[in-house]
Amino acid sequence: MMTNLIEEAQRALIIGAHPDDSEFSCGGTIAKLGQQGWDVTYVVCTNGNKGSHDPAITAYRLSEIREAEQRAAAAVLGVQRIIFLRYNDGELEPTPALRAEMALYIRYFKPNALFTHDPWKHYMLHPDHRAVGFAVIEGAVSARDHLYMPGLGQIGLTVWRPQALYLWAAEQPDYTEDISATLELKLAALREHHSQIDHVEGWEQRVRQRAREQGQAAGYEAGEAFKKISL
Ligand SMILES: [Zn+2]
């Protein structure tokens, strides 16, 4: 539990279902990676175009707002690039096509650390979180074995095996990253998601509380907990 993710600067790939998932779940860890010189890439699978209770907003307008918010939040954390897949919110399924797409990004960016949703989390309501979690995990298998998608190998996207997969909002977390020094950056990034948090009373206190609880188990002032799977 006391080990540290960061040994030397490497590459991380963070794959989330919606604009804001990455910041809520591992913004402190991402900020830390950025400070340590890691090359960090986001893949944001949906455009978040259903994430509003405002009866006046259209799905199209919301997708534009959320993409801009995602860019601003990622800039706070030092993320180098964002790939927007722009699938419609709430409509993702862990199809072979989505799995292949995830494998393609894993082979292309060659991450040492791969982060995504834990699809086995009990009572998780959002279907996109499950779909992305499964597609990334299954995509990691396709990415590492050369007989999957042989055409990718023939255009130079040869096999790649991340050292570890980190599942956030984990059913059974067994690894905690110390984010005591980057919790404020996480909150600053979250504040960029105006459409998601401006109307939510007490969100900041809840994020602080969760960081305290997750850190406590590992002896940190603040932490982010994951299920870590070595590949
Ligand atoms: Zn989400």
In a domain, residue 5? The reply is: no
* Alpha carbon of 63 to ligand 1 centroid (Å): 14
pLDDT of residue 4: 59
Contact partners, residue 153, CB within 8 Å, separation at least 6: 146, 159
pLDDT of residue 231: 87
Tally of domains in the chain: 1
Series of mean pLDDT values for 10-residue runs along the chain (231 residues): 60 98 98 95 96 92 97 98 97 96 97 97 93 98 96 95 96 97 98 96 97 96 97 87
pLDDT of residue 6: 60
pLDDT of residue 124: 87
pLDDT of residue 9: 73
CATH of the domain at 123: 3.40.50.10320
* Alpha carbon of 161 to ligand 1 centroid (Å): 26
pLDDT of residue 8: 67
The whole-model pTM stands at: 0.95
* Alpha carbon of 48 to ligand 1 centroid (Å): 8
pLDDT of residue 2: 40
* Alpha carbon of 155 to ligand 1 centroid (Å): 33
Residue 199's domain comprises: 11-230
* Distance linking the first and last C-alpha atoms of the chain: 18
Spatial separation of the C-alpha atoms in residues 116 and 104, rounded to whole Å:
16
* Alpha carbon of 129 to ligand 1 centroid (Å): 6
In a domain, residue 2? The reply is: no
In a domain, residue 4? The reply is: no
In a domain, residue 6? The reply is: no
In a domain, residue 146? The reply is: yes
